[in-house]
Amino acid sequence: MSILNSLQKSTIESLQVLYHQTFSEKDFQVNQTKPEFEGDYTVVMFSLVKSLKLSPEVIGNQLGEHLIKTYPEIFSAYNIIKGFLNLTIADDYWMNFLQQHYNDICFGKQAMNNKKVMVEYSSPNTNKPLHLGHLRNNFLGWSVAEILGANGNTVLKSCIVNDRGIHICKSMIAWQLFGNGDTPQSTGIKGDHFVGDFYVKFNDEYKKQVKELVANGMAEPEAEKEAPIMKATQQMLQDWEAGKPDVIELWKKMNGWVYEGFDVTYKRIGSDFDKMYYESNTYLLGKDIVQQGLEKNIFIRKEDGSVWIDLTADGLDEKLVLRKDGTSVYITQDIGLAQQKYDEYKIDKSIHVIGDEQNYHMKVLQLICKKMGLPYADDIHHLSYGMVELPTGKMKSREGTVVDADDLVDEMEKEAAAKTEELGKVKDFSEDELKALYHTIGLGALKFYLLRVDPKKKMIFNPEESIDFHGFTGPFIQFNHARISSVLRKNPINNDHTTGNSFLPLEKELIVLLEKYPSVIKQAGDELNPSAIAIYVYTIAKTFSSFYTEHSIANAESEEKKQLRLKLANMTAIVIKSGMQLLGINVPDRM
């Protein structure tokens, strides 16, 4: 039981004994005491005044006295400031807590419950490599899945690959026109980058053809439709949908190149999946559900044969669910895929990690599922996140201005090498150890920077700022973990030795923070917000850094103090490592 739960429980019991009424935690507030006042937690009693017909000062004094007398193992002192009851938690409580958890590597994690959650993230297109925007998506999805797992859920990580459609055909047409039979193997170019280059070449050629048609007197809107390369692409899509063998063969070959590239990147950034879905297998799903909706008059068929749903009464628009030729649109596919996930896994919650430009689409998806009475409708959740931009502005794949994930990780590793060598503390590392360290620091800096911001907010990624060893960064936290590891290697904990029974202010600040870890994991899970973990772990590292600067561990004033500080350091290292793992970040023991 956390100190907050213990405080609420003891306060309720004391109020009932004192005033012979029934109370609950909703009848009062508990906050952390403000730094300018003495105490650890504050009970706000103004909501009790009316029912008890007593002043806050009287209630506070009676309650404070009762708590001190009845629960001496929890409370050691109290004071009243303008009707607020400030309570000091006994050092014995914190000492018992430290003794119980200083070596508990599972601290903060909840027991398994019976809930099954699927987190869908990444959603790459097979016409280009993963880029910076995909990285925020992958890191968010992976971290949310781990956080939900730490809260006791059974979690399935899934990915829907957008492997069909006009964009893929653009890369295929460009390869036919300009590829000269080249392959990733013959050129030495990673498969996803290789195919992505042809997507850019398509766009260059398309713009050139449109310009020529306009120069010959054609209006620009018409030229965009009539450009030969665009017409060839549209024909290829029709041929793919018709199952034309040579088109299918080329599609499989080029997608295969991309998948090989994706696998390398996913492994490098630590992203993995329990289930992969492919749009080429799912785009026909949902048509049966639409037919059921027509029979129930939820959908309407228009004169041209297309099928729609009217959501204007719900504050939305009319939405197309089947084209006039009977083919599916994205929303139809997503309804069908939601049904497939439910049928396969009986999941209790389905979380979609998708950018905020899809907010409307996800509202429509859930509303259609509700109107259809589908059992999973209320359990669809959109984890909407803001786009990532560079200091130079937005990125565009078709113009080749995106920052590829592989290139960015390369840059981060180089920056990590430069910063680490400046510190000059890795002279005894082997070449392989240095390579692994630079990857750990560089990738850790990248993940932490992208995850430290609330997902709902747009953000600008600054590579140089992300790898500062002294700021609100992953490397700062990693450095403090390595420092603790060094101290513990040189000063082993003596489990048989006593640790005394009192805390200095910074020691207490650290133990109070460590105790909050389970509630931070719960908060991050409830909010689907890894930034709660990032901010907390940074605060722990920063507090430890202040503590370490102020108080010697190896040369503590007594053996009791030394053992107390070693246990504090050990628990700090465990919590830092655990929290960073929930963000997908490794922490080195040496750096």
* Number of Cα atoms under 13 Å in the Cβ half of residue 380: 23
Kindly state the average pLDDT of the residues 43-48.
Answer: 92
In the predicted structure, residue 347 carries a pLDDT above the cut 50: yes
What confidence tier does 395 reach under pLDDT thresholds 50, 70, 90?
very low
- Contact call for residues 441 and 420 (beta carbons, < 8 A): yes
Q: What pLDDT is stored for residue 284 in this prediction?
A: 84
485-494 pLDDT tens trace:
999 999 999 8
Q: Which residue has the tokens 């040369």?
A: 555
Lowest mean pLDDT among 83-97, 205-219, 335-349, 385-399: 385-399
265-280 pLDDT tens trace:
999 999 999 999 999 9
Percent of the chain with pLDDT over 90: 88
Strands 275-278 and 300-301: unpaired
Q: How many CB atoms neighbour CB 173 within 10 A?
A: 24
215-260 pLDDT tens trace:
999 999 999 999 999 999 999 999 998 999 999 999 999 999 999 9
Q: What pLDDT is stored for residue 423 in this prediction?
A: 80
CA-derived radius of gyration, the chain: 30
Cα separation, 338 vs 380, in Å, equals: 8
- Provide the strand spans (E) within 90-182: 116-120, 154-161
CA distance to 138, 285, 416, 439, per residue, from 446 (Å): 12, 37, 11, 10
- Contact call for residues 369 and 126 (beta carbons, < 8 A): no
In the predicted structure, residue 505 carries a pLDDT above the cut 70: yes
Kindly state the average pLDDT of the residues 9-31.
Answer: 95
- Contact call for residues 490 and 554 (beta carbons, < 8 A): yes
Q: Which residues contact 555 (CB under 8 A, 6 or more apart)?
A: none
In the predicted structure, residue 498 carries a pLDDT above the cut 90: no
Burial class for 157, CB neighbours closer than 10 Å (0-12, 13-18, 19+): buried
65-124 pLDDT tens trace:
999 999 999 999 999 998 899 999 999 999 999 999 999 999 999 999 999 999 999 999
- Provide the strand spans (E) within 253-372: 275-278, 300-301, 307-310, 318-322, 349-355
**Domain 3-89 part of CATH 3.30.1360.70:** yes
What confidence tier does 427 reach under pLDDT thresholds 50, 70, 90?
confident
In the predicted structure, residue 151 carries a pLDDT above the cut 80: yes
| pTM, two decimal places | 0.93
Q: What pLDDT is stored for residue 422 in this prediction?
A: 85
> Tokens for 457?
């907010």
What confidence tier does 401 reach under pLDDT thresholds 50, 70, 90?
low
- Contact call for residues 299 and 309 (beta carbons, < 8 A): yes
Cα separation, 38 vs 21, in Å, equals: 30
Q: What pLDDT is stored for residue 100 in this prediction?
A: 94
In the predicted structure, residue 394 carries a pLDDT above the cut 70: no
In the predicted structure, residue 332 carries a pLDDT above the cut 60: yes
Cα separation, 204 vs 371, in Å, equals: 45
Amino acid residing at 331 = I
Cα separation, 370 vs 548, in Å, equals: 55
What confidence tier does 393 reach under pLDDT thresholds 50, 70, 90?
low
Locate CATH 3.30.1360.70 in the chain: 3-89
**Domain 408-582 part of CATH 1.10.730.10:** yes
Q: What pLDDT is stored for residue 183 in this prediction?
A: 98
Locate CATH 1.10.730.10 in the chain: 408-582
Lowest mean pLDDT among 250-259, 464-473, 569-578: 464-473
Q: What pLDDT is stored for residue 501 in this prediction?
A: 76
In the predicted structure, residue 283 carries a pLDDT above the cut 90: no
Residue 368's nearest CA partner among 328, 430, 324, 319 is: 319
